[in-house]
Amino acid sequence: MATQLERDKHARYLLHCLREVPQPYAALDTSRLSLAYFCVAGLDVLAHLGKIDAPLRAGIVEWIYSLQVLPPSDGCAGLPADRLGGFRGSGYLGAAHSSGGAPSSSPYDGAHLAMTYTALAVLLTLGDDLSRVDGPRVLAFVSSLQDEAGCFSAYPGGERDMRFLFCAAAVVAMLRGGAVPPSSGIDVERATRYVLESRGFDGGFGLGPGQESHGGSTFTGLAALALMGTLRRLPQPQRTVRWCVERQVGGFQGRPNKDEDTCYSFWIGGSLALLGAATLLQRAALSAFCLSCQFAHPTFGGIAKHPDTRPDLLHTHYALCGLSLAGAAGLAPLEPRLGITARAAARARGCEAEGECQTCEEETTVWDGSLREPG
Amino acid sequence: FSDLEPLPQDDGPVPVVRIAYPDGFEEVMSYFRRVVVTGECSQRTLQLSAEVIAHNAANYTAWQYRRRCLEAMHSGSSNAAREQAWREELAFCTARGRENLKNYQVWFHRRSCLARLGSGPEAELEFVAEILRDDSKNYHAWGHRQWVLSSCGGWEGEAAFVEGLLEEDARNNSAWNQRYFLLQHTADLSSLSVAEGEVDFAARFIAAAPGNPSPWNYLRGVVEPLGYSAVPRVRLLCEGLLAGDAASGAGRVAAMSLLVDVLDEGGDPAEQERARSLCDSLEDLDSLREAYWQWRRSRV
């Protein structure tokens, strides 16, 4: 069992995957952008972003922009105008690689909300200024996906749940200076109500009203509230704090009576951070569990879900995020609301470096840290 | 498909996270890309989308295209023929679903089929029950079950179904959640007698395994909104467990943890002093949450 964080090996693993990933990832063919996000954002948490050489860096940025959905050249692809904008997850539907964005090749070749989130997250992480993102179209796309209940779907007519509500808030925030402004095109009031209605009897949050509380949906719900500036409206936040701290069994489990799993290091560790309660997670135990899930290989690292299983990109990235929250040496601090480093998030606010932006610190700690009930 | 020109994927000059596709994947996708561009909706494109799904069930466009194909192919059909087509589609979805139980797209497609068929809940609740027999905490299956109940009904058998699962495995937290969901829709949670009944229900499982967090969470969830003083049996349960030697380790921690909230609720100084002293003990007993108990103590 490794007791040290194998930073260089993890960087090598992520860099390797940034070029090519093995067969099992074929299941992520339509959401390849998320793989790029895990690699790039993970390298940033490792403070090893510099290992992506300049040509590859430029190549990633160009590839992402080529996934931006533009109106079809003949104007007859059948998609309503407000649904053109945002990013696809890959060129799996045959759009031609094209600088700055590719016209929709069919009514099906449109953007996906989660892929739009990961596109912006990677661009910010790589230092891009988002100047080639068609902001108004992206915002129109996002607001077209909100339903009566306040939730968001992944794409027009697609599945709806808390994951996409978070992505909507994060996309708007990244385009509008780091937080969701009052008139952004999304209905903050309804979205807030949806999140609050999805809170379970135990203080955690489900993917929708009535569903079982779960680490992933608890994080996405809280982060969405934080981005929308409505986290203070959460009644009895200490009930959510208790649900979160009770999930720690060493590492974190995603639900009561389930096994610990490295990705919840971020989902639940991040939830505690959003609640201003990061100090309540037991850092040593969390670190020990994440480190025990490092892949033992002479060259390549990577972190698995459980000890003694194969590593994968999602668990590597979120375990690194968890380790960062646990204060592991050498890792970059996070902006938990956006799932990227604080350095990358500062770029969304138009700051070159974290230090330049005095307001960042205040905004990040949405709560005052004392965990008193608001109001 | 010899009349169609395959459309390759264009990754540009610097491919990023290129996938080492398994054999056949790219060929099928190249034809699928072409078909989606031409918009052809026919038996053969329906079959092609099935091939795409066989390679990658998470391809949401393939599922979306199937729905489009079926609608287009049956726009002029009789109601009976259309219903038959969607029934076959549901069977296809069932077969793929069994291989992909944690796939969002399959469950979403299933809802689309059911919404078009408009049949009663019985068969669908039985399908979910069968999935849960093998994977009793499957989040998708439970979410689907809630959707079926909410949109088609079938509540009358739910209490027995959930209780059966809990008798089998009292640590099935999903089943506890379902019991609460059921109550929300079929009972008055503000009623004292309902709450007392649920406390007794949870207490039976706590007695059998005091360290199981699920019934504790359930009990708290039911009583917290009413206030602990309104349901004195909660305090009796905690005190009883702590007085005896039935509960050790996690069970003691759970009873003490709830008792802290019970004692703190009324604002009585003596009771609050005891709550603080329980927090002190919990710092040792539940040392992983030492910082939490210090914080909780400071809030009493």
Report the pLDDT averaged over residues A97-103: 87
Q: What would the two tokens of residue B147 be?
A: 């959707």
> Which of A74-78, A102-106, B259-263 reaches the highest mean pLDDT?
B259-263
Q: A-contacting residues of B 77-136, CB under 8 Å?
A: 104-105, 108
Q: pLDDT at residue A72 above 80?
A: no
Interchain contact A272–B (C-beta under 8 A): no
**Pairwise CB contact (< 8 Å): B61 & A108:** yes
Let me know if B102 is a catalytic residue: yes
End-to-end CA distance of chain B: 73
**What's the whole-number mean pLDDT along residues B117-143?**
95
Q: What confidence category does residue B192 fall into, taking pLDDT thresholds of 50, 70 and 90?
A: very high
- Report the pLDDT averaged over residues A211-234: 98
User: Strand B18-19 and strand A340-341: pairing?
Assistant: unpaired
A258-270 exposure pattern, b = at least 16 Cβ within 10 A, e = fewer: bebbbbbbbbbbb
Asked if the model's pLDDT at residue B3 lies above 90, the reply is yes
Q: Do A212 and B11 touch (CB under 8 A)?
A: no
Nearest residue on chain A to B214, alpha-carbon basis? A256
pLDDT beyond 60 at A118? yes
- Band (pLDDT 50/70/90 cuts) for residue A131 is very high
Chain centroid to CA A262: how far? 16
In this prediction, residue A77 carries a pLDDT of: 54
Give chain A's count of helices (H) and strands (E): 14, 5
What's residue A2's pLDDT?
56
Any A CB within 8 A of B218 CB: yes
The answer to whether A241 touches A218, Cβ cutoff 8 Å, is no
pLDDT for res B261: 98
Q: What is the mean pLDDT of chain B?
A: 96
State mean pLDDT over A185-199: 97
**Per-residue pLDDT reduced to its tens digit, B72-122:** 999 999 999 999 999 999 999 999 988 888 899 999 999 999 999 988 899
Average pLDDT, rounded, for chain A:
91
Break chain B into its structural domains and give their ranges.
1-114, 188-299
Set of chain A residues whose Cβ sits within 8 Å of the Cβ of B181: 210
Average pLDDT over residues A358-372: 39
pTM for the complete prediction? Answer: 0.95
Decide: A97 and B10 in contact? Cβ < 8 Å: yes
Encode pLDDT of A274-326 as tens digits.
999 999 999 999 999 999 999 988 899 999 999 989 999 999 999 999 999 99
Handedness of CA B136, B141, B147, B151 (dihedral sign): negative
CATH of domain B1-114: 1.25.40.120
What is the average per-residue pLDDT within A86-101?
A: 92
Annotated active-site residue in B102, B133, B185, B204: B102
A28-46: b (≥16 Cβ within 10 Å) or e:
bbbbbbbbbbbbbbbbbbb
**Widest distance between CA atoms in chain B:** 86
A367 near B CB under 8 A: no
pLDDT tens profile A226-282: 999 999 999 999 999 999 999 999 999 999 999 999 999 999 999 999 999 999 999
* Tokens at B121, concatenated: 């809940």
Give the pLDDT score at B298: 96
Q: Which of B22, B224, B295 sits opposite A23 (nearest CB)?
A: B22
- The CB-based long-range contact list for B20-27 (8 Å cut-off, 24+ gap) reads B20/A20, B20/A21, B20/A22, B20/A23, B21/A23, B21/A26, B21/A29, B22/A23, B22/A26, B22/B55, B24/B55, B25/A26, B25/A29, B25/B55, B25/B56
What does the alpha-carbon distance between residue B162 and residue B177 come to, in Å, rounded to a whole number? Answer: 10
Taking an 8 Å cut-off on Cβ atoms, the answer to whether B61 and A30 are in contact is yes
User: Which domains does chain A show, CATH number per domain?
Assistant: 7-347 (1.50.10.20)
Amino acid at A351: C
